[in-house]
Amino acid sequence: MTESDFLVSLFGPFAPTFTPLEARLVAQALSRLPPAAPRLTFELAFDAVLLRSHAGGGQYAAIAEAQARLTQPLPYQTLALDHRRTEHLVLFASLRVDEGTERISGEFNPRLGARWRQLTGELTAAELEALLPLRGANRPRPS
């Protein structure tokens, strides 16, 4: 299975394109999942996800913007009895950003638990971080 196949298996053919900060947040959060734990919870510091371009006073704003985008439901279409049906999927059950402690914590959507675990078993955090922002010709097209 190729890296692009992983994204399609996780998100379907309408996979979102992540910004570099969003990709780092997801990759770092996945890398901190406790092995074989029943819940997909994580906690990390702002410093684990901030890019050099976010140094200074805009740290919280940049992370809050990433939080807002990452918690939006992702629409996708399925077919049921020859009728198209639009459904929505969320990546996180919860995603909290605490400016006072400079911590990010949350829980990945447990419905995607097996796929999240598959990603962490097959790709390193650095590989996943590089893969999530891919666009255009590097990403499989919907059929």
Identify the DSSP state of 15: P
User: Is 115:57 a contact under the CB 8 Å cutoff?
Assistant: no
User: Is 131:139 a contact under the CB 8 Å cutoff?
Assistant: no
- pLDDT confidence tier of residue 141, bands split at 50, 70 and 90: very low
Residue in 107, 91, 126 with CA at minimum distance from that of residue 34? 107
Provide mean pLDDT across the span 106-117.
89
Which pLDDT score, from 0 to 100, does residue 85 have? Answer: 79
Global pTM value: 0.81
Nearest-angstrom CA–CA distance, 7 and 88: 17
Between 39 and 74, where is the model more confident? 39
Which pLDDT score, from 0 to 100, does residue 13 have? Answer: 59
Tens digit of each residue's pLDDT (9 = 90 or more) over 4-24: 565 666 666 566 778 899 999
Distance, C-alpha 95 to centroid of its chain: 11
**Residue ranges of the alpha helices (H) in 1-143?**
3-11, 20-31, 59-70, 113-122, 125-131
pLDDT at residue 1 is higher than 90: no
Provide mean pLDDT across the span 42-60.
79
Tens digit of each residue's pLDDT (9 = 90 or more) over 87-100: 788 899 999 999 89
Q: What is the mean pLDDT of the chain?
A: 80
Q: What are the CA-CA distances from residue 104 to residues 28, 40, 119 (Å)?
A: 11, 14, 21
Q: Taking the CB of residue 3, how many other CB atoms lie within 10 A of it?
A: 15
Which pLDDT score, from 0 to 100, does residue 6 have? Answer: 59
Q: What are the structural domains, with CATH classification, of the chain?
A: 3-136 (1.10.10.10)
Which pLDDT score, from 0 to 100, does residue 57 have? Answer: 64
